[in-house]
Every structure is written in structure tokens, then in C-alpha cells.
């Protein structure tokens, strides 16, 4: 699947940094690929944070990413940190 701009929501802005939420059925590895977010380059600043909810075999995966490079020809995000959760009940 490809990037869906309508699935990117800006949750907050302050001090030149934005916090986004993005949901996709793509895997976390696909989402953190260089230029995945290129269609929305104008929304991003370096160091913007993206909370990504993606899929892995039908199981949701939450990843914290940040933008480390942005221009009209390239958007790169870090590989991110997966937020793990344990639900023992």
C-alpha cells in the first residue's frame, strides 16, 4: 500500500515542532522508508514527531518516529521506536 495523506493528522504544534498521528495498514518498515511521506513534505519540519499506528499480520504496531530531513524532493524519518505493550488480563 502507499502513503495516504488523509491519514496524517496534526495533533499539536509548539516551539517549531509538530506532533502528528498517522494510521496505515502498511508495516512499520514500509512507513519509515525514505520518501514515504514525500507527498506531504510541506507539512513537516525537521524534528517533527509522528506517532504511527501500523499493522503486522493484523496486530497493531505503534511506533514513535521523527523527521530528520525534509525538502521538496526528500522526506526522511528515523527508523523509530516501537512502543511495546503487555496486556496480562
- Is residue 40 in a domain? yes
- Is residue 54 in a domain? yes
- Is residue 60 in a domain? yes
- Is residue 68 in a domain? yes
Range of the domain at 43: 5-83
Q: What is the CA radius of gyration of the chain?
A: 13
- Is residue 89 in a domain? no
Q: Give the separation between CA 9 and CA 64, rounded to whole angstroms.
A: 14
Q: What pLDDT is stored for residue 22 in this prediction? A: 97
- Is residue 34 in a domain? yes
Q: What pLDDT is stored for residue 39 in this prediction? A: 97
Q: What pLDDT is stored for residue 38 in this prediction? A: 97
Query: Structural domain tally of the chain?
Result: 1
- Is residue 88 in a domain? no
Q: What pLDDT is stored for residue 12 in this prediction? A: 98
Per run of 10 residues, the mean pLDDT along the chain (length 89 residues) is 93 96 93 96 98 85 96 96 83
Helix, strand or coil for residue 5?
Answer: helix
Amino acid at each position: 500500500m502507499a502513503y495516504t495523506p488523509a491519514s496524517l493528522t496534526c495533533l499539536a504544534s509548539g516551539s517549531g515542532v509538530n506532533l502528528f498521528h498517522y494510521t496505515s495498514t502498511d508495516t512499520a518498515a514500509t512507513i519509515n522508508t525514505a520518501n514515504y511521506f514525500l507527498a506531504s513534505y510541506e507539512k513537516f519540519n525537521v524534528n517533527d514527531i509522528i506517532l504511527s499506528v501500523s499493522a503486522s499480520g493484523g496486530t497493531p504496531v505503534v511506533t514513535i518516529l521523527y523527521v530528520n530531513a525534509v525538502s521538496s524532493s526528500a522526506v526522511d524519518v528515523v527508523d523509530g521506536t516501537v512502543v511495546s505493550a503487555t496486556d496480562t488480563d
